[in-house]
């Protein structure tokens, strides 16, 4: 079975994503975001686009979105997804990392099993201010309307928060759900 690739976008939590996947007994490997798309296609069953400091350092991530495999974007990964599909990312009003109470408004595949309200850990230095066409809102909060979005028919999902940190309630569930999606859609 092919692994899930964690794309390193130079964020401080990318290694925690890899660790969480491995702790869940999910075969995973970290790759640099400079990896050519032709080396990613056919080599993995899904991609987690990790967080990072800036869109300017997103490497080939936009190209990975068109490989036909499931993608889960975390923080900067969400912003890459939104920008690549015609959404708008702007500086947030509340800046740095902190606790956020998120309302799950669509318990789709990636948020299956979550309660309607969850406490998460997120940065809102930047956020999706306008969803891309064709995407659906999965979660929102008092400070950010688009905490989670999806393009379900392409199995592309994005979360503003970091499921891999201990401050996020039931964080591992997002990665377990993503693993199930990759197994169902690619295998």
- Residues 83-141 have pLDDT tens digits of 999 999 998 887 778 889 999 999 989 999 999 999 999 888 899 999 999 999 999 99
Q: Is the pLDDT of residue 12 over 90?
A: no
Does the reported pTM lie above 0.85?
Answer: yes
What pLDDT sits at residue 95? 72
Which residues make Cβ contacts (< 8 Å) with residue 154, sequence separation at least 6? 68
Average pLDDT of the segment spanning 165-174: 93
Write down the domain spans for the chain: 4-186
* Percentage of residues of the chain with pLDDT beyond 90: 84
Write down the mean pLDDT value for the chain. Answer: 94
> Residue 153 CB: number of other CB atoms within 10 A?
7
Task: Tell me if residue 75 is catalytic.
Answer: yes
| pLDDT, position 17 | 96
- Rounded Cα gap, residues 64 and 38, in angstroms: 9
Marked catalytic residue, from 79, 124, 155, 162: 162
- 96 sits in the region (left: phi over 0; alpha: psi -120 to 50; else beta) called beta
Is 1.10.3720.10 the CATH number for 4-186?
no
pLDDT band at 3 (very low <50, low <70, confident <90, very high): very high
Whole-angstrom distance, CA of residue 115 vs CA of residue 131:
23
Helix runs in the chain, H state only: 14-23, 37-40, 61-64, 76-84, 171-186
Cα 158 versus chain centre, distance: 4
DSSP 14: H
Give me the catalytic one of 61, 75, 109, 124: 75
Contacts with 15 (C-beta within 8 Å, 6 or more apart), sequence order = 30
pLDDT tens per residue across span 54-68: 888 899 999 999 999
Burial class of 9 by CB neighbour count within 10 A (0 to 12, 13 to 18, 19+): buried
Q: Which of 109, 127, 147, 164 is catalytic?
A: 164
Kindly tell me if the per-residue pLDDT of 187 is higher than 70: no
């Amino acid at each position: 079975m092919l692994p899930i690739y964690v794309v390193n976008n130079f964020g401080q939590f990318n290694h925690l994503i890899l660790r969480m996947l491995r702790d869940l007994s999910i075969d995973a490997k970290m790759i640099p975001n400079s990896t050519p798309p032709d080396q990613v296609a056919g080599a993995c069953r899904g991609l987690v686009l990790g967080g990072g400091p800036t869109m300017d350092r997103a490497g080939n991530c936009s190209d990975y979105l068109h490989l036909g495999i499931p993608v889960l974007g975390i923080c900067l990964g969400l912003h890459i997804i939104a920008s690549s599909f015609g959404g708008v990312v702007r500086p947030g009003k509340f800046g740095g990392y902190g606790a956020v109470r998120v309302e799950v408004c669509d318990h789709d595949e990636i948020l299956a099993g979550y309660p309607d309200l969850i406490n998460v850990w997120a940065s809102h230095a930047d956020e999706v201010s306008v969803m891309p066409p064709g995407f659906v809102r999965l979660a929102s909060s008092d400070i950010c309307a688009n905490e989670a979005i999806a393009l379900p028919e392409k199995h592309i999902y994005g979360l503003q928060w970091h499921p891999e940190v201990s401050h996020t309630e039931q964080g591992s569930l997002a990665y377990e759900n993503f693993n199930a999606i990759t197994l169902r859609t690619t295998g």
